[in-house]
């Protein structure tokens, strides 16, 4: 563990000194000592949904602008002295004594790798020093992330109160930078700048990801969330549609976000449950997030890319998404309203698939024990038995102005099928809840019976993660020498100290018109949502389409309608897609493609370069709505990887209907 301490000097040195020494600034270009405004650009923060019509924020500070500077000392080694400088993007560490080093190993702590921080105090009452701890997850030599803890000791003042104020000043400034909160222009940085800790409801499928989801949650997610100072309540789901029922009974005003720890299927349940509520217009605004602990992690792959991280899988992808979640921030999310042959509706955040993609998805369920490798095996089997499907695809091009759909118009047919390439990317009552754990005093019903094989209960985690972490890092005998000293103690009557409403388990609040689709071939019903906005671009299914639509009929190997960029954690199907571009990206492969060519397409999709292969059977069109009419009597249709009834369907994009917890946006090459 890398641990450090601080000493305040009588005269504050030039804030650019360590930066100049590290080559960030030329020593001759140091600014004058006049007061500098420290207002930060508010680009993201917890509890704020981005507004498109908002006024332009002030220009952000340069990445190397010094915000805080001070001399620190080592903990527990008192002989090591360091100079620390905090900038908007990193914490710079320079060794001063006993051997000065301008660029020591580990001397640059990127904020993109920081989960959170806390202040601590010594258990020894005679120790007047205060402590400031940072939790980081840098990449190791093998490219995987490993946790590192930096603890700084402030001991420059005579009293603990003064040292504590200095430690809290640094912790507050860092927390503001992590969460996108503005720093004051007068330089007065106090813990009063910080709002109450965000409250998250975590829903975990304990048997997702080959049964590793629960273990990953305990070992990685909960410690990181605790380090970030986020309050949470966690519930383990027990059956299909359990999450859907839970969100229908929630008092949503008490939560700042709902986060699923599983694959894409659990988030599908949550979103459709929100849209199934009588107050769906407000409910769907609740920010939702995803932490990849399942086999299919397409949305997490898109979040990872949006955050500026390199493509990742497994634990690395989970840690990347957890870091982004800890920093807060949301983004509008387009949702696709899908009307099925029976007239029922469900909402999709990911994709509608027919043909090869849906065949592989459903066939892979037989190999779920293999984890993400099940998709590879199923793809090989699908290529060996490649099928073509006769069908009709109609869509409203994104460039067309929508016409009011009326049954009087005839079906618009295209004379020829165009092969398009995407434009370049822009720069019932149930048993009580069995399993729950929380750092909030939620009055949840206690289980009367534990199901066999249920995971063991979670350990108690303290706020900011200070207690357990330091206890684990302390290598000496006896109790850990430091204890947590919270930045923002909960005042009486605060949300942290007050009981929240119980989560109701039982018959969900569902409108009378709510219904379920007929069981799938596996025997499990797929829930559909009757709520949500009207599909103003679509006539009734089976009625003629209005003018301006393009219709294609022929043999298809696959048809994919996708909203975000990723079809899987490592499959970039629509590399130019954004969460809120208001488009559904239609990709289809016509009959006549060879197995080799199809395999080449999917291999290139790992890098998002499949459109550059020049495959004549691969076609693409951005659209605002589409209709798919399978003419082959048997086949498989999936919505977000979930099998739905086979037959004609149609869908329309509802731009920005949902809100996705994404963390701050990144840029290409963000990672070192």
DSSP 641-661: TEEE-SS-EEEEEEEEEEEEE
Measured distance CA(35)–CA(19) in Å, rounded: 18
Measured distance CA(639)–CA(645) in Å, rounded: 10
Residue pair 98/73 in contact (Cβ under 8 Å)? The answer is no
Measured distance CA(34)–CA(64) in Å, rounded: 18
User: 248 is written with which tokens?
Assistant: 């229908």
Residue of 627, 557, 585, 652 whose CA lies nearest to 394: 627
Measured distance CA(100)–CA(63) in Å, rounded: 25
Q: What does the buried/exposed string (b/e) look like for 581-605 if buried means 16 or more CB atoms within 10 Å of the residue's CB?
A: bebbbbbbbbeebeeeebeebbebb
Element (H, E) at 590: strand 584-590
User: 294 is written with which tokens?
Assistant: 């399942």
The residue from 155, 256, 264, 439 that is catalytic is 264
At a CB cut-off of 8 Å and minimum separation 6, what does 603 contact?
none
Q: How many CB atoms lie within 10 A of CB 541?
A: 17
Active site residue 264: yes
**Size (the chain), residues:** 672
Residue of 563, 559, 561 whose CA lies nearest to 589: 559
* Tokens 């020829």 -> residue: 416
* Tokens 């990347």 -> residue: 320
Residue of 657, 244, 217 whose CA lies nearest to 461: 217
Say how many Å lie between the first and final Cα of the chain, rounded.
22
DSSP lists the bridge partners of residue 624 as none
Residue pair 92/18 in contact (Cβ under 8 Å)? The answer is yes
At a CB cut-off of 8 Å and minimum separation 6, what does 588 contact?
393, 556, 558, 559, 560, 618, 619, 620
Residue pair 122/170 in contact (Cβ under 8 Å)? The answer is no
Measured distance CA(210)–CA(294) in Å, rounded: 8
**Torsion on CA atoms 23, 24, 25, 31, rounded to nearest 10:** -140
Q: What does the buried/exposed string (b/e) look like for 3-21 if buried means 16 or more CB atoms within 10 Å of the residue's CB?
A: bbbbbeeeeeeebbbbbbb
Measured distance CA(457)–CA(472) in Å, rounded: 20
Q: Which residues are catalytic?
A: 264
């Amino acid at each position: 563990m890398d641990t450090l301490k601080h000493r305040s000097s009588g005269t504050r040195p030039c804030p650019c000194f360590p930066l100049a020494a590290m080559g960030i600034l030329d020593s001759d270009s140091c600014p004058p000592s006049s007061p500098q405004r420290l207002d930060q650009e508010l680009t993201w923060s917890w509890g704020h949904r981005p507004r498109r019509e908002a006024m332009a924020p002030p220009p952000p500070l340069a990445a190397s602008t010094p915000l805080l500077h001070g001399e620190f000392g080592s903990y527990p080694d008192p002989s090591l002295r360091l100079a620390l400088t905090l900038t908007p993007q990193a914490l710079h560490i320079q060794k001063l004594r006993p051997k000065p080093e301008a660029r020591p190993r580990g001397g640059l702590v990127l904020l993109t790798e920081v989960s959170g921080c806390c202040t601590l105090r010594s258990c020894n009452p005679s120790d007047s020093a205060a402590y400031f701890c940072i939790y980081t997850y840098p990449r190791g030599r093998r490219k995987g992330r490993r946790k590192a803890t930096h603890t700084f000791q402030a001991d420059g003042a005579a009293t603990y109160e003064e040292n504590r104020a200095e430690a809290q000043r640094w912790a507050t400034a860092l927390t503001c930078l992590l969460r996108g909160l503005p720093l004051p222009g007068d330089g007065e940085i106090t813990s009063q700048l910080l709002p109450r800790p965000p409250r998250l409801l975590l829903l975990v499928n304990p048997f997702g990801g080959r049964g590793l989801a629960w273990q990953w949650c305990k070992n990685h997610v909960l410690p990181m969330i605790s380090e970030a100072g986020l309050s949470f309540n966690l519930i383990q789901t027990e059956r299909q549609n359990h999450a859907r029922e839970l969100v229908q009974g929630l008092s949503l005003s008490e939560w700042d976000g709902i986060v699923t720890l599983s694959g894409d299927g659990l988030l599908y349940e949550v979103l459709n449950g929100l849209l199934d509520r009588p107050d769906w217009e407000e409910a769907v605004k609740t920010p939702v997030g995803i932490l990849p602990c399942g086999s299919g992690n397409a949305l997490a792959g898109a979040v990872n890319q949006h955050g500026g991280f390199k493509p990742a899988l497994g634990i690395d992808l989970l840690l990347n998404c957890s870091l982004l979640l800890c920093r807060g921030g949301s983004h509008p999310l387009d949702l696709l309203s899908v009307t099925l042959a029976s007239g029922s509706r469900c909402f999709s955040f990911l994709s509608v698939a027919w043909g090869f993609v849906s065949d592989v998805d459903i066939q892979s369920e037989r190999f779920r024990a293999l984890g993400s490798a099940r998709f590879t095996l199923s793809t090989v089997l699908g290529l060996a038995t490649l099928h073509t499907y006769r069908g009709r695809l109609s869509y409203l091009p994104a460039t067309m102005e929508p016409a009011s759909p009326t049954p009087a118009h005839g079906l618009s047919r295209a004379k020829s099928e165009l092969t398009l390439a995407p434009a370049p990317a822009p720069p019932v009552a149930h048993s009580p809840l069995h399993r729950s754990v929380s750092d909030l005093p939620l009055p949840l019903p206690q289980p009367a019976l534990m199901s066999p094989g249920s995971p063991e209960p979670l350990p108690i985690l303290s706020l900011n993660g200070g207690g357990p972490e330091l206890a684990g890092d302390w290598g000496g005998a006896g109790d850990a020498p430091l204890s947590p000293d919270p930045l923002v103690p909960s005042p009486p009557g605060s949300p942290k100290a007050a009981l929240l409403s119980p989560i109701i388990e039982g018959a969900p609040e569902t409108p009378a018109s709510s219904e379920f689709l007929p069981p799938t071939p596996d025997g499990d019903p797929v829930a559909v949502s009757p709520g949500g906005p009207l599909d103003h671009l679509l006539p009734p299914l089976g009625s003629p389409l209005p003018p301006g639509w393009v219709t294609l009929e022929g043999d298809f190997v696959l048809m994919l309608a996708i909203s975000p960029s990723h079809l899987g954690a490592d499959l970039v199907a629509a590399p130019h897609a954004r969460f809120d571009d208001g488009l559904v990206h239609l990709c289809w492969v016509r009959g006549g493609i060879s197995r080799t060519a199809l395999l080449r397409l999917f291999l290139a999709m790992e890098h998002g370069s499949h459109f550059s292969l020049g495959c004549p059977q691969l076609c693409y069109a951005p659209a605002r709505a589409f209709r798919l009419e399978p003419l082959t009597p048997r086949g498989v249709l999936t919505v977000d990887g979930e099998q739905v009834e086979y037959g004609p369907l149609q869908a329309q994009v509802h731009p920005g209907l949902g809100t996705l917890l994404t963390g701050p946006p990144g840029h290409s090459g963000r990672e070192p």
